[in-house]
Structures are given as C-alpha cells and as structure tokens.
C-alpha cells in the first residue's frame, strides 16, 4: 500500500485507540477495503503476466518515478464494483488509470499511469474523466505532467457499454495551453494506439522503451483490413520507426527504469512552469577549467571532420549533458547541459552527418528545440559549424529550404539570452540562422572559424565557370583563384570591421560561457511568463 | 545472425573504402569515407560484426539512403 495512505490511516483512523466504535466506522472500513482492491490492480495473475513481458505495473512505475512516499492518489476508488443482493459491497475492479500528485527531487509533479493488468488497458475499463482530471490538475497546480502510457486504445465494445457513440475528444482538455505553461512528458510503456499515441507524442519530451512499446494511430489489427498491410506492432510503430525515422518520439530507452530516469533527468533542467526559473545545481567542475585539447580539436585540413560531442564534453560541466532526439535530424545536436551549474539549451552541428548541414529533419528539430527552450526560459548556447542548407535534388524535394526558413523564423522570435560560438563554418541561408535578430547578443569565434554567403571552394567554380573553361590549365587556374580568394577568409579580417565581437582562444570557451551564463540568469527574472509567437511560413 | 544494412547519409561519391569483405568491425569504426560538400565524411558502422558485403566501390556516385555495406553480427 502507498506509504501516504498508510500514514493517514495509522495517524488518525485507528479505531483501537478509541473507547467505542465511531459513528461512521462501517463506511471508514469500507473505504479502506475499497482502497485495498485499488492496490491489487488486475490481480496476481495479470500482474505476473505483465512482469513476464518485461513490464512493470502502473503502481510500480509511479513508485520508481517519484520520491519515496510522496505519492498522493486521487480517484483510487474509481472502478466497477460488485454488490450482493442487499446492495452490500463485495469487491471491485479498479479503472485502468492511476492518477495523483507527487514529487521528483522535491519538485511537485502530476502523474497519470495506465494499467495494462486491468482488462489489457482497454478503454472499456478506462476512466476518461480521471485522465482529463490529471491533465487539468497539472495545469491548475502549475506542475509538470508525466503520462505513463500503456493502453490499447478504443474498443468497439464501448458502444454496447454506453448504448451510444460519442464524438471523439474531450472538451475540458486543452493540450495546446498546457504546452505553453508546464512541462509535459509522454512515456510509451506498451502499445500506445490512437489516444494513447496522442498522449505520448503531444509533449515536450517523449521516450519509448525499445522492444516493449509501440506508438501508432492504429494497431496492426486495424491496419491489416484498412490498408491491406500485414505488419507487426514493432514494424508499424516501434522505436526503430518513431525514434530513428519519423522523429515522432524523442528518445529510446533500453528498459522501463531507463525511460523513467530519462524523465527525471529531463525535468532537472526545467522550471515547474513558465513563471519560475530553471534551478541551478552547484557544480564541482571548476569554471576556469581550460582544456588544452580544444586548441587542436578542429583539423586545419578543411576536408577533415571531428567529433562535436567531444567538444561539448570538454566545455560544459562534467556529466551534465542530456541529449534529445539523437537519432533524428542528426546533422544538428540538441542537448540540455549545465555551465557553472546553470541549465542551458545547447545546439551544435555534427560534421559527420550531411557535413553538419541543415536538413529538413534537423530544421524541424531546431524549431522544436528552440521553442522548448524559449517556452521555459532556458538560455541557449549555439556552437556553429554550419555549411549551409542541405543541397541536391532529394533535399529540394523535401522542401528543405522552407523548413530551414521556419527554423530561422523560430530563432528570430525568441526572448531568451543567447550565446553563439563560431567553431568552424557558417555559410549561406542556414549560416544566417544562428541567433535571434535585433537583440544584443555576444558572438564569439574560434580561430578556425570562417564564413560567408558561399564557401571559396565551390564558390570559385560557380563564379568563374567560363574563365576556367577557357583556361589553358583549368586545374592550375582554379587553384590560383582559390588561393587568391582564401586570403580574404581569415576571421581576423572580419574582426577588423567589427563583424564579430570577440575572437577567443578555444580553451577559454568554458570560462567565457560561465561569465555569460551568470549575466543570462540575471536577465531571466524579467523574461518569465507566457510567450507569444507570430505565424511562421 | 542479424544483417544490418548501412546506408549512406548524404549524396556524394565514395572516396575511400576502409574495410574489405570478411573483416571484423566494431561499432563506430569507419567503413567508408564519402566525399561530399567538399569534405571527407566517414560512414561509421552502427553495429559490431563482420563485413558481409560491400555494395559500392571507390569513385561511385551514391544518393542518400543507398545501401553501401552489409554487416553481419
């Protein structure tokens, strides 16, 4: 039994301490009895089946997620009760959703957890009122909402139960408003179809367990007759589909504990709501740690790549990085991290993927990530090595340019402190999408930085096509032209004209950002509250 | 033994092949170096295993999504 409930009962409900039975003793006993049925969920047999398939029950998941003894349940008695001929309570089967509030690292959260042990998570045993209550409770309490989803979705048998049909949706549930006010997290812990899929995906952070959870608009049994496609649950909506290809779900977890730990980690960087500030966690990592490796990590040969995640590890607080959507839009890396204990959003390019360029997928990832940071007032550090928008006919067919412009507009609308560090390249349309416009924001550049509307290599070939065609030795001519234009490429020439605010030694990036983040957090109290955004293309 | 198809990430050409059929590779080992966007972009092995088949040769032009290597492991 939940510790909280136990405590309440021990504290003031123990009848042995009183001399005579209370007036309402029978009812008090019945409440306790009904509580016990709620604890039993779908019964021992179904719980064993859940465990055998590598899954936890709703109550075990809640226990693993929340601080010890912090769960306060609502609606424990909801369910289907059986009565004897005289109308006396015999037993009951609880509804298959457990809701309540609790704490994660002492911060209040609201949890709703489906239970697959009660009638296979079927909507026949569901209580939509409870589900919607949890959503609205989170909004009222201005506390993060965590949905632990493990539900089979709609059932045609409901028609008989309700003796009618209903128009889909819940009038009292305002998903969009929630997304603008409190952190919402969706965790897929089993097959999540229809409404279940929606509850996972309509979130700021979603995570699914590899192999045991699937997300889809409709499952294989509906897909087969509907579109004549025979697929397994995993082929249709496993993590290979939604984490690695579609990007509908942010992260993959190796098991349920990993998924719940990712939820706790994600929340540790965010405030409880848009009116509060992200919490600083003091760090033992010295702010003046200047790693020598940073002065050589970018190869002099522009054709050679390097590992951006290594760069990030050398700069940010030790063990503070948390990556989201690692497998989607991979040419851009999006992470939360800390510097001197202050949480920040981090964006960086990965030269190993598309050369780090802005693909359709990475543009969408940037838009989503920047909106997330802006909503919860998390300052952003952008480490730029941007060769441009992805090129070629495949990229054009995906409308990459439009998606890149959407990402650019997203950046231009934010209201958070922003720091840009130019690591290497910054070219073309995507090269202009590195920071908000019209705001004082300091830009730093490493000596390896270079930029422009078009790179010298490639740019020379395009501009001098005719001359190169007519040249006696086209190769030599090309080399001469490249050498000539390269002399203008040094970032120090840009600095002469105040085109960049500060050229820095890469080793000093950490102390410089530590100073910046302090100033950023000084600004934040004036920036909290709801964010308005205009239409984007 | 599961087969993993390693697809190229970017349209470009095969500049250098770093492995041959039958060799053992570890996850994150470089299989092929592509040339694209004027850069040498390594294609890394997503899994550990044995190189079962090379579907490309040096100098080939490839499109995003084409299978370049099959790994068994």
**Beta strands at A79-83 and A450-452: parallel, antiparallel or unpaired:** unpaired
3-class secondary structure, A205: strand
Q: Which residues of B touch A394 (CB under 8 A)?
A: 11, 63-65
Residue ranges making up the domain that contains A147: 26-80+91-268
pLDDT tens string A356-397? 999 999 999 999 999 999 999 999 999 999 999 998 898 999
pLDDT tens string A35-65? 999 999 999 999 999 999 999 999 999 999 9
3-class secondary structure, A34: helix
Residues 427-466, chain A, touching B (beta carbon < 8 A):
455, 457-458
From the CA of B17, how many Å to the nearest CA of chain A?
A: 16
Q: What is the 3-state secondary structure (H, E, C) of A421-470?
A: EEEEEEEHHHHHCCCCCCCCCCEEECCCCEEECCCHHHHHHHHCHHHHHH
Same domain? For A192 and A316 the reply is no
Q: Cα(B22)–Cα(A471) distance, rounded to whole angstroms?
A: 47
Q: What is the 3-state secondary structure (H, E, C) of A48-93?
A: HHHHHCCCCCHHHHHHHHCCCCCCEEECCCCEEEEECCCCCEEEEE
Q: Cα(B20)–Cα(B52) distance, rounded to whole angstroms?
A: 9
Same domain? For A321 and A444 the reply is yes
Residues A196, A198, A204, A207: is their CA dihedral positive or negative?
A: positive
Same domain? For A242 and A316 the reply is no
Same domain? For A186 and A321 the reply is no
Domain ranges of chain B: 3-72
* Residue of A302, A303, A390 to mutate when probing chain B, most B C-beta within 10 A: A303
pLDDT at A2 over 90: no
Same domain? For A512 and A397 the reply is yes
Residue A273, domain member (yes or no): no
Q: State the complex-level ipTM.
A: 0.82
Which of 1.20.1250.20, 3.40.1590.10, 3.40.50.1970, 2.40.50.100 would CATH assign to domain B3-72? 2.40.50.100
Mean pLDDT of chain A: 92
Q: State residue A442's pLDDT score.
A: 83
Same domain? For A108 and A255 the reply is yes
**Band (B64; pLDDT cuts 50, 70, 90):** confident
Residues 287-346, chain A, touching B (beta carbon < 8 A):
302-305, 330
Residue A534, domain member (yes or no): no
Q: Count of CB atoms within 10 A of residue A36's CB?
A: 13
Same domain? For A239 and A367 the reply is no
Nearest by CB: B63 against A303, A394, A455: A394
Residues A417, A419, A420, A423: is their CA dihedral positive or negative?
A: negative
Residue A283, domain member (yes or no): no
What's the total number of domains in chain A? Answer: 3
Nearest by CB: B37 against A304, A330, A355: A355
pLDDT tens string A135-146? 999 999 999 999
Same domain? For A247 and A371 the reply is no
Helices (H), A167-281: 175-179, 195-201, 220-227, 233-237, 239-242, 256-268
pLDDT tens string A158-196? 788 788 888 888 888 989 999 999 999 999 999 999 999
Q: Cα(A264)–Cα(B18) distance, rounded to whole angstroms?
A: 41
Q: Which residues of B touch A303 (CB under 8 A)?
A: 38-40
Q: Count of CB atoms within 10 A of residue A149's CB?
A: 29
CATH at residue A214: 3.90.226.10
CB contact under 8 A, B39 and A302: yes
Q: Which residues of A touch B39 (CB under 8 A)?
A: 302-305, 351, 355, 387
Same domain? For A343 and A392 the reply is yes
Q: Which residues of A touch B38 (CB under 8 A)?
A: 302-303, 455, 457-458
Same domain? For A246 and A302 the reply is no
- Given a contact cutoff of 8 angstroms between Cβ atoms, the answer to whether A449 and A426 are in contact is yes
pLDDT tens string A67-124? 999 999 999 999 999 999 999 999 999 998 999 999 999 999 999 999 999 877 776 6
Name the helix (H) or strand (E) containing A420. strand A418-427
Residue A286, domain member (yes or no): no
* Alpha-carbon separation of residue A216 from A208, A223, A317 (angstroms): 12, 10, 38
Tokens of A495: 């600095």
From the CA of A311, how many Å to the nearest CA of chain B?
A: 18
Residue A152, domain member (yes or no): yes
Q: Cα(B71)–Cα(B23) distance, rounded to whole angstroms?
A: 10
Same domain? For A141 and A64 the reply is yes
Nearest to A523 by CA among A369, A384, A414, A411: A414
Residue A86, domain member (yes or no): no
Mean pLDDT computed over A333-345: 98
Same domain? For A260 and A331 the reply is no
């Amino acid at each position: 039994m939940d510790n909280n409930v136990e405590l309440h009962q021990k504290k003031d409900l123990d009848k042995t301490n009183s001399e005579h039975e209370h007036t309402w003793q029978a009812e008090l006993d019945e409440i306790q009895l009904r509580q016990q049925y709620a604890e039993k969920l779908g019964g021992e047999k179904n719980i064993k089946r859940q465990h055998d398939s590598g899954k936890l029950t709703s109550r075990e998941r809640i226990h693993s997620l929340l601080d010890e003894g912090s769960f306060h349940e609502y609606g424990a008695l909801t369910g289907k009760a059986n009565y004897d001929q005289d109308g006396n309570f015999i037993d009951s089967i609880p509804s298959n959703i457990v809701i309540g509030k609790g704490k994660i690292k002492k911060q209040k959260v609201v949890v709703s957890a489906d239970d697959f042990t009660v009638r296979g998570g079927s909507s026949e045993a569901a209580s939509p009122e409870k589900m919607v209550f949890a959503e609205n409770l989170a909004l009222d309490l201005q506390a993060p909402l965590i949905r632990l989803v493990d539900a089979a979705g709609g059932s045609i048998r409901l028609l008989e139960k309700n003796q009618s049909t209903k128009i889909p949706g819940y009038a009292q549930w305002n998903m969009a408003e929630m997304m603008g006010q409190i952190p919402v997290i969706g965790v897929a812990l089993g097959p999540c179809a229809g409404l279940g899929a929606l509850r996972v995906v309509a979130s700021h952070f979603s995570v699914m367990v590899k192999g045991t959870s699937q997300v889809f608009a409709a499952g294989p049994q509906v897909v087969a007759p509907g579109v004549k496609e025979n697929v397994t649950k995993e082929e249709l909506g496993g993590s290979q589909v939604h984490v690695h290809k579609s990007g509908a779900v942010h992260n993959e977890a190796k098991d349920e504990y990993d998924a719940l730990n990712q939820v706790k980690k994600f929340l540790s960087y965010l405030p409880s709501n848009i009116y509060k500030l992200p919490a600083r966690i003091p760090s033992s990592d010295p702010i003046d740690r200047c790693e020598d490796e940073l002065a050589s990590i970018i190869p002099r040969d522009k054709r050679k790549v390097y590992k951006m995640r290594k760069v990030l590890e050398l700069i940010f607080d030790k063990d503070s990085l948390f990556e989201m959507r690692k497998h989607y839009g991979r040419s851009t890396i999006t992470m939360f991290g800390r510097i001197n204990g202050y949480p920040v959003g981090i964006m960086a390019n990965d030269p190993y993927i598309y050369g780090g360029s802005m693909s359709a997928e990475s543009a969408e990832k940037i838009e989503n990530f920047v909106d997330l940071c802006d909503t919860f007032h998390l300052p952003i550090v952008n480490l730029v090595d941007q060769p441009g928008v992805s090129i070629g006919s495949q990229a054009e067919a995906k409308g990459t340019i439009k998606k890149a412009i959407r990402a650019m507009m997203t950046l231009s609308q934010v209201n958070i402190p922003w720091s840009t560090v130019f690591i290497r390249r910054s070219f073309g349309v995507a090269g202009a999408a590195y920071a908000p416009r019209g705001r004082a924001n300091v830009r730093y550049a490493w000596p390896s930085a270079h930029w422009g509307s078009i790179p010298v290599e490639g740019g020379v070939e395009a501009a001098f096509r005719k001359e190169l065609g007519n040249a006696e030795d086209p190769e030599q001519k090309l080399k001469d032209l490249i050498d000539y234009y390269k002399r203008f490429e040094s970032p120090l020439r840009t600095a002469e004209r105040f085109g960049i605010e500060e050229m820095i030694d890469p080793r000093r990036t950490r102390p410089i950002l530590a100073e910046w983040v302090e100033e950023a957090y000084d600004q934040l109290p004036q920036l909290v509250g709801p964010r308005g955004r205009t239409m984007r293309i | 033994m599961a087969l993993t198809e390693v697809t190229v990430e970017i349209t470009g050409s095969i500049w250098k092949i770093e492995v041959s059929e039958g060799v053992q590779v570890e996850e994150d080992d470089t299989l092929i170096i592509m040339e694209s966007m004027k850069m040498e972009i390594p294609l890394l092995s997503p899994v550990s295993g044995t190189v079962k088949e090379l579907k490309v040769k040096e100098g080939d032009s490839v499109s995003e999504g084409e299978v370049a290597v099959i790994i068994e492991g």
